Amino acid sequence: MPHSHRSRVRKESPAPEDAASRRGFLRNTAAIAGAALSGAAGVVGSPESHAAVQGERWQKAPGTVPGAYGQPSEFEKKIGRVGITGYPDVTPGAGVSLTPIQSLRGTITPSGLHFVRNHNGTPAIDPAVHRLMIHGMVQRPLIFSMDALYRYPTITRTYFLECSGNSGRNLTPEPQQISAGILHGLISNSEWTGVPLSLLLEEAGYDRAATWLLAEGADAANMTRSVPMEKALDDAMVALYQNGERLRPEQGYPARLLLPGWEGNMNVKWLRRLKLTNGPTHTKDETSKYTDVLPDGKALQFTFEMGVKSVITHPSQGVTIEPHMYHEISGIAWSGAGRITRVEVSADGGVNWKDATLHGQHLPKSVVRFQLPWEWHGTRQVLLSRATDEKGRVQPTRQAWLAQYHADMRYHNHSIVTWAVEEDGSVRNVYA
């Protein structure tokens, strides 16, 4: 009797099998506090509850008809990107819009919440007019209409995209009390579908002597970056779709360059031109910016691969947690070098570490979610996570990372992120 009173009420608490397997999971993952775990508090409702028996008001009348394009629940309206513009009067489109990583679970970033980094706004490109040109050191210079480009065979892969300026806000002398998303939200993870760049380069008959190519965007910033041919022929793609639908305008509609694992800036959006060359072009975007300032003040050019990194998103700055209760420490980890193989979590400022469980699809150059059950008993505790990738690279401490660079360095901060859970349960951004 699937619709009986009892089975309905049951829905309010985990099914017995779920509860049992969850307890087993908690035992097996070795709770970090070492304390015996009580059941999850906060399960509401009892069989006597009137609403649970009678049904809520939304069961008494027909619901609404779906719109053409679905939207999140009206109760989730407060979840959104945070936009920060440097010079609103001069270049209102130049700035960032950060993914609220503290509000998300799983691994895929909803397309409408993918972070945006624009140097001069999002252009409104008409695909009937837009062209992609491949020229330079090729036998056959080609100009693709979008109709032609969208007919090429595609591949589908899940990759993260991270701005090399991500976590730059955690380099201030004092830790800022702003959300994980505002601190570290220039990271998103999508399923991308597009044409392998190698296929288009073959089509143009690329000169084997070409060592680099220049990629140019069709926005008013005229973003241009030099890309080594090795990468272009490896896993680079011209992305056309994002999470199953055509790219969002903010992500480069109708075509963008995607260089898996490499710094966001090189993933040129609104791609209009690829010129094959026998060396880097040294464009404005790779000389005036996106260089690493070393301790002696010299700038190191062309750091492409993004470092191994993790961020605890739950709990994180801005929330208040309750004591004597089960909490899940959860976060995201990724590496430009390949797969994440391990994420360790410490709840005592880095003295003791426990391996977190890795969830989600375990893909190279893609976000994986880590989780560890934890019971908090009301004392101040400092939470850290440390990721390792398949190349054996380990996420550095903040101190070790800082020691590599000049104080002016703002890019590629992949150092360990630290949150303090204070005695009142509030969670603060701290530097270990």
Q: Which residues bind ligand MTE (CB under 6 A)?
A: 114-119, 161, 163, 217, 219, 221, 223, 250-251, 264-265, 267-270
When the beta carbons of 117 and 314 are compared against ligand MTE, the nearer one is 117
Q: Which does 251 bind (CB under 5 to 8 A by kind): ligand MTE, Mo ion, none?
A: ligand MTE
> Which residues contact Mo ion (rule: CB under 5 A)?
117, 163, 264-265
Q: Which does 250 bind (CB under 5 to 8 A by kind): ligand MTE, Mo ion, none?
A: ligand MTE
Residue in the shown chain whose Cβ atom is closest to Mo ion: 163
| Nearest in space to 184 (alpha carbons), one of 201, 174, 171 | 171
Find the shortest distance in angstroms from Cβ 290 to ligand MTE: 8
Residue 143 bridge partners (DSSP): 133
When the beta carbons of 117 and 354 are compared against ligand MTE, the nearer one is 117
Q: Which does 393 bind (CB under 5 to 8 A by kind): ligand MTE, Mo ion, none?
A: none
| Nearest in space to 251 (alpha carbons), one of 123, 82, 149 | 123
State how far the Cα of 221 lies from the Cα of 11, in Å rounded to an integer: 54
| Nearest in space to 146 (alpha carbons), one of 131, 124, 125 | 131
When the beta carbons of 117 and 327 are compared against Mo ion, the nearer one is 117
Find the shortest distance in angstroms from Cβ 204 to ligand MTE: 21
Residue in the shown chain whose Cβ atom is closest to ligand MTE: 217
Q: Which does 242 bind (CB under 5 to 8 A by kind): Mo ion, ligand MTE, none?
A: none
Q: Which does 312 bind (CB under 5 to 8 A by kind): ligand MTE, Mo ion, none?
A: none
State how far the Cα of 198 lies from the Cα of 192, in Å rounded to an integer: 16
The contacts of residue 49 (CB under 8 Å, 6+ apart) are: none
> How far, in Å, are 25, 160, 219, 354, 377 from residue 384 at the CA level?
22, 22, 39, 11, 18
The amino acid at residue 291 is T
- Asked if residues 237 and 258 have their Cβ atoms less than 8 Å apart, the reply is yes
Find the shortest distance in angstroms from Cβ 118 to Mo ion: 9
Find the shortest distance in angstroms from Cβ 87 to ligand MTE: 15
Q: Spell out the alpha helix ranges (H) of 103-179.
A: 146-149
Find the shortest distance in angstroms from Cβ 412 to ligand MTE: 12
When the beta carbons of 219 and 375 are compared against Mo ion, the nearer one is 219
When the beta carbons of 99 and 265 are compared against Mo ion, the nearer one is 265
The kind and range of the H/E element at 6 are helix 5-10
State how far the Cα of 371 lies from the Cα of 29, in Å rounded to an integer: 9
State how far the Cα of 394 lies from the Cα of 399, in Å rounded to an integer: 14
Q: Which does 270 bind (CB under 5 to 8 A by kind): ligand MTE, Mo ion, none?
A: ligand MTE
Pairing, β 245-246 against β 309-314: unpaired
